[in-house]
A and B are shown apart, each in its own frame.
Chain A
Amino acid sequence: MLILIGQCLIQGLMMGSIFGFVTIGMVLIYRVTKLLNFSHGAWLMVAMYISYILFVKFRIEPYLSVLIAFPALFLLAALVYYVVMRPLGMKGHIIMMCQVSLGLLWILENSALLVFKADYRSVQSVLSNSKFYIGPLIIKTPLFIAFLTVGIIAIVLGWVLYKTDFGLSVRAISQHEEAAKLMGINIGRVQLLVFAIGIAIMGIAGPLLVPWIVITPHAGAEFTFLGFVILILAGLGNLNGALIGGLIIGIAESFGGTFMPGALASVPAYVIFILVLCFRPQGLFGAR
């Protein structure tokens, strides 16, 4: 039993780090552009499908497809932001930006439905089934690789945020946008870049998930939902909280998946969500 719990924990931590990673993009976008990106998870789904096509048509390993997915998402997101979000943002129509992000979710999910139908797809890559052992605990290799990669990128992001001028600009805008204007910062450009990067990092997470997760067009909304649960858990706008919240939800999902019957697997996560809302609405960490 102890082993099972340990297994759950490890698995949950690793899955959770990926959830947290997805949520960090959401938090950054929210802090800098004030947009709650309802389409966020959909981009992850797009990245997974890109990886899928590359594998099926060109035999490219998912891990390599990051090299294509990341720039593709970056460019597409930058284009979308420039054409569609920026005009609204500059006029301060934040609710409309959220509605537009709903429109994006709509377009992305239905595009996937159009091309791939609603079937479940999966990729059997070289590493799909490999695993290794730490003591009595089984660790699935693809999950572990995903965990490591996400961790490294999170560290890189942290470095950029705290050690570069660009990161300084990002933090300035998220703390006091008007003051940032007085510093001569090009607000529009930073917002564009943050949006594009926040979405492009899904171009990394997506292919990482592909070897062992089932791909469906609906995965988009589901990941967005999980992201929002974590956001609320952490406190809207809290970066570190997003990571930790991700871990918590990851563990909850892991335990749920192991100990609860099929469809109720996510119940522990929902329970946490509702409990936090009822007893600590500002999130575990408040807004920082």
Chain B
Amino acid sequence: MIKMQSVSRARFIALCMGFLVLICLPALVSPYWLRIFNFILMWTLWCTSLNISMGMTGMFNMGHVINIGLGAYTSTYLFLNFGISPWVGMVAGCIVSALIAMFITYVAFRYKIAHLAYGLITMGFAFIVMYIISAIPALGAINGLNIPRKNDPFMFLFGDSVPYYYIILIFAAGTIALYRVIDKQKLGIYFKAIRENEKAAEASGINILKYKLVSSVLSAIPAAIGGTFYAQYIGFIDPHSTMGIMLVVQMILFTAVGGFGLLWGPTVACFILIPLGEKLNSILGVEYSGAPQIIYGIIVIAVILLMPDGIVGWLSHQWSLYRNRSVGSDSLREIPS
């Protein structure tokens, strides 16, 4: 149908234009805003990778923060103690992250009560890993680790925000692309089947454990990459900020606002909520340093109540309503007799 083609064409053009704008961004905005965009993109990466295990596969994954933290700590540790370039350390971080993610998923799988218990168990592990790292002096314990600030591209260090921007842009775009690829493959169908009805999926022959493991690994790797980026960009990691439970709570809340299981959900949420937070911060000042978070929380709860599929879900629902407005639909399907 011509109408369908023109819609996807329009979408494609919009996407290209958006990407073009993003590529030219450093020339268009102030350094202050560039920094904010770095955060937006980093969070987009984290939330989209969370979306793989939590949105598509339905695993209440509070352990996502472990993936991020381990990525950050692995590459940083190797860098500070052995001089290994964080580019390489990033890969090591991915491996460590993936292994731990698989371990946790395996252990949680044995519990055999879907959804909720997984959330419990991953939360437990998140705390445990955080406390363990807080106790190891070699990893900086509670005080954390500092990464030296200098310009050394081979060591993943830059003096300016701009290179960081392009790096995170590529990483974030890559994660979104990864999500889309999985979404359209058989893998995505299996993930979603597990999310919708695990027992039915198992009955139809899907190896639940295998696909959950795959999902957690695919979720962990981008997260770990993001973790390394965080370490290199911010220059400081400590258990609380990098492995704290509140980090993943924020991710879950953001993704809920955008819409779980939707490709652009996390992206939209991050692009809206992070600048919003910044604005609130600058208006309210340091005095009220908890206020933006509280407003986040209220917004999130309101969105979950009013738009159960998130903002993106709501928008696409409105869009399909608009398109179907002339077609009536019966509320019940008949069983043929």
Contacts and interface: CB of A to CB of B under 8 A. Distances in A.
Is chain B in direct contact with chain A in the complex (CB below 8 A)? yes
Interface of A: 36, 38, 84, 87-88, 93-96, 98-100, 102-107, 109-115, 221-222, 224-225, 228-229, 231-232, 236, 261-264, 266, 270, 273-274, 277-278, 281-282
Interface in B98-122: 107-108, 110-113, 115-117, 119-121
Contact of B253 (A102, A224, A262, A282): A102
Interface string B288-313: 11110110111011001100100000
B304 A113 contact: no
A106 B253 contact: yes
Contact of A263 (B112, B134, B288): B134
A98 B110 CA distance: 22
B124 A264 contact: no
A264 B117 CA distance: 26
Given A88-B304, A99-B300, A113-B289, 11 more contacts: A94-B115, A94-B116, A100-B301, A221-B127, A228-B123, A232-B124, A236-B116, A274-B128, A277-B107, A277-B108, A277-B110
A120 B197 CA distance: 46
A95 B115 contact: yes
A127 to B, nearest CB: 30
B297 A106 contact: yes
A96 B304 contact: yes
Interface stretch (B10-18, B223-231, B244-252): B244-252
B256 interface: yes
Contacts of B290: 110-115
Contacts of A113: 289-290, 293
20 contacts: A36-B119, A38-B123, A95-B116, A99-B252, A100-B301, A102-B252, A103-B304, A105-B249, A106-B296, A106-B297, A106-B300, A110-B294, A111-B294, A114-B289, A114-B291, A236-B120, A263-B131, A263-B141, A273-B128, A281-B111
Contacts of A277: 107-108, 110-111, 121
Contacts of B111: 277, 281-282
Interface string B71-115: 000000000000000000000000000000000000110111101
Contact of A266 (B131, B245, B298): B131
A38 B60 CA distance: 12
A38 to B, nearest CB: 7
Given A229-B124, A262-B135, A277-B110, A106 B305 contact: no
A263 B245 CA distance: 18
Nearest to A35: B116
Given A277-B107, A281-B112, A84 B127 contact: no
Contacts of B60: 95, 98
B301 A228 contact: no
B304 A263 contact: no
A284 to B, nearest CB: 14
A225 B115 CA distance: 17
Contacts of A262: 135
A222 B133 CA distance: 16
Contact of B127 (A87, A96, A112, A225): A225
A96 B293 CA distance: 19
Given A95-B115, A221-B245, A263-B131, A281 B288 contact: no
B142 interface: yes
B246 A221 contact: yes
Interface in B232-266: 245-246, 249-250, 252-253, 256
Contacts of A221: 127, 245-246
A102 B132 CA distance: 24
A80 B135 CA distance: 37
Residue of B127, B135, B289, B301 contacting most chain A CB atoms (<10 Å): B301
Contacts of B116: 36, 94-95, 98, 236
Given A114-B291, A278-B107, A232 B121 contact: yes
Contacts of A281: 110-112
